[in-house]
Structure 1
Amino acid sequence: MTGAVSLTDVAGYLPGEPVGREFFTRYPQSPDPSRDSTMFTAPRWRHHVAADETNVDLVERAVWPLIDRHGADAIRGVDVLLVHTQLPDLPIVGAGTEIARRLGLRPEWLVDVANAGCASFVHMLRLARQLLTTTRARSALVCNAQTAAGQLFTQSEVRRLGQAAIPGDGCGVAYLTVGGPSPILDVTTRHLGEYAGEMRLVADDGRRYWQTRQSQLRIGFTEPAVAAVLERGNRLVPEAVGELCHRLGVPSSEIDVLITNQPNRTFLHNWRQALGVPAARHPDTFERCGNLFGAAMPVTLDHVVRTGRVHDGDLVVFGGFAHAGDFAGAAAVRWHGSR
């Protein structure tokens, strides 16, 4: 497939030492009605950024293996830089320009992607593919950095909530090239505005996030909201992956490697059941990394490549949804990478 856009390589980085669930359970729990929900069943481990560690730090460390394998000139010469960060260290400007400065990049296209959350990797694959097929650009760097676990969810009051033990921090990056070895076969995305705005940051004093406060910010989950997210997530990911497979003319049961975002064990089980993909072909990093939000897909792909669980010629399919269901997408790659 000469001229096709390839997901040529991927790398990941996890900060610090693994943090066990005891970090959360050794403190008195709050009367949180969502604590018993299957959506918040805690993984055994996750990683947290250090107090002085930024999104840009994580991206820089994740990119080092790409530089080792492809050379500094190739990575510094990328034409497209796409970045999704959660939480942004400086919301006013995003992280993209600082990443470019730190890595010595001078991209023609630089976009900080604010939407698509846990499925932003798929969203950025589509954006990069479009730019690489319609402009003079020949290569792209796609970056997903997740730092919310060690920043938002370790606060003294928030860590007592059921939601706090699920997230983990980490970063995944991908190197895309025109004419590379692992072509992106197709990408499908859905922007679902009817579910927008249902995931909110809240504080007990009602003040906005930029205002001085005594209470701590948290995600505003309620029992009805959790039930709605579970229903939508169970439906949206199999729909997106199923649509993609239909366009490719391949039954979903014939996916060689299914890589999804990693919200919880319930979603992971239900998605592979709905798609007819056995657990052995649906690798996940949830138990060792928790919910890495947007970084989960590239980190998981990096893990399965390093451990030999993806083989030459495999059909690798990515699928996921974001927030309370305002985005869903899937992408397919014919893998011919090697390490």
Structure 2
Amino acid sequence: MTVHAPMTAARPTVSLVDVASYLPENRVPTEYFTQFSRSDRMAKNVMFRSPKYRHHVARDETAVDMVERAVAPLIDRHGADTISNVDVLLTHTQLPDNPVLGCGPEVARRLGLRPDWVIDVHNGGCASFVHMMALARTILQSSDATTALVATTQNSAGQVFTQSEIRGLAHASVPGDGCGVGLLTKSDDAPILGIECRTYPEFGGDMTFEGVPVSDRKYWEPGLGQVCVGFTESKITKVFARGNRLVPEVALAVCDRIGVQSAEVDTFVTNQPNRLFLRNWREAMQLTPEQHPDTFDECGNLFGAGIPVTLDTANRDGRIGNGSLVVLAGFAHAGDFAGAAAVRWGAGPTP
């Protein structure tokens, strides 16, 4: 007797059909920080070479405000009904305005959504856009949901890195603020061809959020000092080595997954930590500067928002033609997560 294995239904295709972004109005030159700079050995480290500009959130500007402003172009292009009918809402906020909850429910209220899924994704860091694409695709492929909105917000530059005890540190001038959003649908319009996400738990405790001056005070406890991301020279060396390796590693893995060589990639969009990482990643992929959009000197390190803001900027500049193979890649924190996604682009601006 012949036994036939049950047929497995093909999973539906999910597309990244559009991206949009928002940068705060306050455009800050490097000179703002040089007036406060201190003599610091780490200031000479290539990890902390300043961008020319970065944008800072206003004091009363919330993560929800930023998401709403980033989504506005999507509403203009796709209509209010498309956005209001979103089934899945995923958000990542670098510095939650309320430490008890994320901004997802308020974003839904502000945009007039009633999604079946609202998830505030705290991990993923500088690769959070890819991480949320992977989550959204999984939900869309395994449920009745048809549309997802993903939003990643970096809002710590103007709030944390301008504090009086922090703004003179070597790394204070590197971050910038911004928000990037993506619209995903069950469709063949701009198919996600493959995604590679990897977690490295052995590096999970290597990034700290600590007081300056360093103390054992928890960040919510009263006392002297201001909190910031902690760096030491030994940590910088480790993070630099990991970052150099991890981003090309996941990008090449996703290329292998879809059966292409890195030279076949038309546009390579990464997070934007510093100029040296950008150069090294581009060279590892054997791509030209024209194939690797760079927003560092205008925006600084946008952390999780770096990928969608850079992608949207390049798209609006007419640098990504429909049908292009686009690979997105980044690594998070001190190297505890890295992700890459390949998309057959279909969101080119309308002539």
TM more than 0.5: yes
Report the aligned-residue RMSD.
1.2
Q: How many residues align?
A: 338
Contact 2:272 2:306 in 1 (8 A): yes
Letter in 2 for 1:60: E
Contact 1:2 1:179 in 2 (8 A): no
1:8 equivalent in alignment to 2:21: no
Checking the alignment, whether the CA contact within 8 Å between 1:7 and 1:180 is kept in structure 2 is no
2:304 aligned with 1:294, yes or no?
yes
Residues 1-339 of structure 1 correspond to what in structure 2 (within 5 A)? 3-27=12-36, 29-203=37-211, 204=213, 205-339=215-349
Q: TM-score, normalised by structure 2?
A: 0.94
Letter in 2 for 1:256: D
Corresponding position of 2:5: none
Matched residue SS, 1:294: helix
Name stretches of at least 5 consecutive residues in structure 1 with no aligned partner. Answer: none
Contact persistence 2:318–2:348 (CA under 8 A): no
Deviation at 1:220, TM superposition (A): 1.2
Larger radius of gyration: 2
CA contact (8 A) 1:11 1:63 kept: yes
Query: What letter is aligned with 1:199?
Result: M
CA–CA distance in 2 between the matches of 1:5 and 1:32? 48
Structure number having the greater helix percentage? 1
Provide the C-alpha distance between the structure 2 equivalents of 1:46 and 1:325, rounded to a whole number of angstroms.
Answer: 24
Letter in 1 for 2:122: A
Task: Return the alpha-carbon distance in structure 2 between the equivalents of residues 197 and 73 of structure 1.
Answer: 43
Task: Quote how far apart the aligned CAs of 1:284 are.
Answer: 1.3
Unmatched runs of 5 consecutive residues or more in structure 2: 1-9
The residue type paired with residue 258 of structure 1 is F
- The letter for the 2-side match of 1:226 is I
TM-score by length of 1: 0.98
> How far apart in 1 are the matches of 2:339 and 2:253?
10
SS at match of 2:180: strand
How far apart, CA to CA, are the structure 2 residues paired with 1:93 and 1:180?
Answer: 35
